[in-house]
Every structure is written in C-alpha cells, then in structure tokens.
Amino acid sequence: MQNSLRIFVGYDPREAEAYSVARESIRARLSQPVRINGVVLDGLKAKGLYRRPTEVRNAKLWDCISEAPMSTEFAISRFLVPHLAGSQGWAVFMDCDVLCRTNLVRILDHADPAKAVMVVKHDYAPSSSVKMDGQEQTRYARKNWSSVMLFNLEHVSNVNLTVDLINSVPGRDLHRFCWLKDDEIGELPPEWNFLVGHTDPKINPKIVHFTEGGPWMAGYENVSFADEWRGERNRWAA
C-alpha cells in the first residue's frame, strides 16, 4: 500500500502558508509514511517540463495559449503529476487551499482500476466573477473537478497526457480531461472534495476545499471550517 500512492499538492508562493497547512494536515493523519510533493512551477520550468508562455497582465499571471488568467501558478502544471509520479500505482493531486481531515491513503478505497482518473464530479457554477484575493473567477466545463484528482498511473489512456499536449492546448481543455473518454473518468464521493459554501453542508468532509477564499485571506476569516484550519496552522507553526 505504501508504494501505491504518491501525493502532490499545488504550490504558489502567494499561498505558501496555505500550502504548508495543507501539507501538514495530510502528514499528521497518514497511517504510514508517504512523501508529499509540491508542484512547483519554477522547478518544472527548470526541468523543461513546463514550457507554456506566460505574462503578467494587470499584476496577474496570464496564460498566453489559453488567453486567460491563471489564478495560481499550478493552474495547468497540475497535469504533469503523472510524469512526476512514475508509471505504477496511483497519484493524488490537490490544490493547496485545502484542509485534509482524514488518512489520505483511504482515498484508495475508491480507486477503480478501470478508470484513468477519479474526481468529485461537481456541478459548480459560481455566481461571483471574483475569487481568492481578487482573482478572476473563470468558467469552464467540469470546473473544480481537477482540484482533487486521483490518477491511475497504469491506465493506458493516460499515455495521451503527454508533456507536449500539456504545453500546447488551452487550459480549459485539460481541466475537462480532453485526453480521456467520458467513461474513463471515475467518480469520488463528494466528501473527498468538499467545496465550502457549495457542497451539501450535511456531508462530513474528508478534504475541505476553500475554493473561493480561505481563512488566511481578508474577508474569509469566518468561512466554515476556518477555526479548524487555524487550529491546524497553530499546530504546524508551534
């Protein structure tokens, strides 16, 4: 089991604290040692894996291929996880604006070897045009599905997710899993990517996702699970 799961968390220097809390919330609950890897854009560029042209427009990171803003540095680089993880077992990716409340190894209880990737299939249509620290709220098919992904590293169709593809198509195509057939996308229970303010509050989350803004941001100090997140931060910082 230990060698069956690899864990990756998106890193953005503007959200370094959130990343650290997400990482430690995972680590504190693991039943066995599993390395937690950051998806760091500068490192991927240095390795030649990330070659997409980007600019800064109006103080925001802009992806030139998509002709769209990037709310985080890992907006597109997340799809390189299968290339970073190897060819055996499973790899989970998650955004850094999360709080893990369970042993993440247990996500493998839902791993279907017939599927190339497993996600929570949100029906998410944000009403606001702005999110997270003033970032633009972009809209695209299957939004937020890719914020927690369990990749089947041995599935033949993931061979189609080449480095060249990742570096050449609009981000919205990658976020809708353009390299897969619909029936190759498996479904995780909603508690594995609980969207604060959107997922049914009666559900007990395993992964809390502060998708529109977390308690480390001004104006979001009192969102659901904020106190729990601050408690995790205090334990990490102690």
pTM for this entry: 0.92
Number of domains in the chain: 1
> Please, what are the averages of pLDDT over each run of 10 residues along the chain (238 residues)?
80 97 97 95 98 94 96 97 96 98 98 98 68 54 94 98 98 97 98 97 98 95 97 91
**What is the pLDDT at residue 2?**
43
Which CATH number covers residue 136? 3.90.550.10
**What is the pLDDT at residue 136?**
53
**What is the pLDDT at residue 139?**
60
Concatenating the DSSP letter of every residue in 165-188 gives HHTTS-HHHHHTTTTS-GGGEEE-
Q: Tell me the HSE value of 76 on the side-chain side, using a 13 A CA sphere.
A: 29
Length of the chain (residues): 238
- The range of the structural domain enclosing residue 23 comes to 2-237
**What is the pLDDT at residue 128?**
52
**What is the pLDDT at residue 4?**
85
